[in-house]
Amino acid sequence: MAGRIAIVTGAGSGIGRACALGLLADGWTVVLVGRREERLAGTAALAPAADRDRAVPRPADITDATAVDELFGAVAARFGRVDLLFNNAADVMPYTPTEDVRVEDWHRVLDSIATGTFLCSRAAFRVMRQQTPRGGRIINNGAPSAQVPRPDSLAFTAAKHAVAGMTRSLSLDGRRYGISCGQIDIGNVTPEDRPQPAVRQADGSLRTEPTMDIGHVVDMVRTMAALPPGVNIQSVLVMPSAMPYVGRG
């Protein structure tokens, strides 16, 4: 992957941080995107010394169209191309009954997930279709909620369904430019610094669900990123086998 340029949003913590470090280990140059520069610097500091010069923190608000265009313009000016975009950033909100969802929370969640994915993907298309060699890859972070909801998660579910629709549209529209787009839906990941909280089930009960190590997510993103041009994993769900999802739970 020498000379290959990746942009990872939400790279200051969690899945974004872990996947950015995994891509660095594979030899990618990774532009670390997030709102807080100190968190991005913290991600870069976690990389082995041999990889650290390929970790490039770049603070940006992905809900701001001007900021996103400036981000991709700066990356293209510095490196000449963008080969991979991992749309991962997301704001969330507590589980809330539909009738109590505040408009400002709705907009915050939809803007960070749906609008952010749109803006970054649009900017990636503009770079990828013009670069030489032409093309690239977009990976969208979905969720099981892109297919089936949890109770009291209207905004998050709507946002992730929007991501699923965009993944399909981007995959279709990208064909003429050699741009592939796939989606990874990620089940419960073991929290780094707290116990796994109990969550509401469809029958109204609370249950602490099984989790998996984040390394399994990183391995899948690395696999998707390493595919040759013209080959795509369109959609994949990575989850603990016993997580309530399939069939009746």
pLDDT in tens, 216-232: 999 999 999 999 999 99
Average pLDDT (179-196) is 94
- Top-confidence residue, 96 or 246: 96
The pLDDT value recorded for residue 4 is 96
The pLDDT value recorded for residue 193 is 82
The pLDDT value recorded for residue 194 is 86
Q: Are 146 and 161 in contact (CB under 8 A)?
A: yes
- Quick check: 247 pLDDT over 80? no
Mean pLDDT over all residues of the chain? 96
The pLDDT value recorded for residue 3 is 86
- Quick check: 2 pLDDT over 60? no
Spatial distance between the Cα atoms of 142 and 134, rounded to a whole number of angstroms: 26
Q: Cα torsion at 163, 169, 171, 174 (round to 10°)?
A: -130
Reported confidence tier of residue 248, pLDDT bands at 50, 70, 90 = low
Average pLDDT (148-175) is 97
The pTM score is: 0.96
Q: Is 88 left (phi over 0), alpha (psi -120 to 50) or beta?
A: alpha
CATH assignment of 5-238, given 3.40.50.880, 3.40.50.720, 3.30.379.10, 1.10.3720.10? Answer: 3.40.50.720
With a pLDDT cut of 90, the percent of the chain lying above it is 93
The model's pLDDT over 3-30, given as tens digits with 9 standing for 90+, comes to 899 999 999 999 999 999 999 999 999 9
Task: Dig out the tokens for 114 from the structure.
Answer: 């749906």
The pLDDT value recorded for residue 19 is 98
- Quick check: 196 pLDDT over 60? yes
Among candidate residues 14, 17, 18, 21, the one with its CA nearest the CA of residue 48? 21
The model's pLDDT over 121-131, given as tens digits with 9 standing for 90+, comes to 999 999 999 99
The pLDDT value recorded for residue 249 is 59
Task: Dig out the tokens for 134 from the structure.
Answer: 């032409």
The pLDDT value recorded for residue 166 is 98
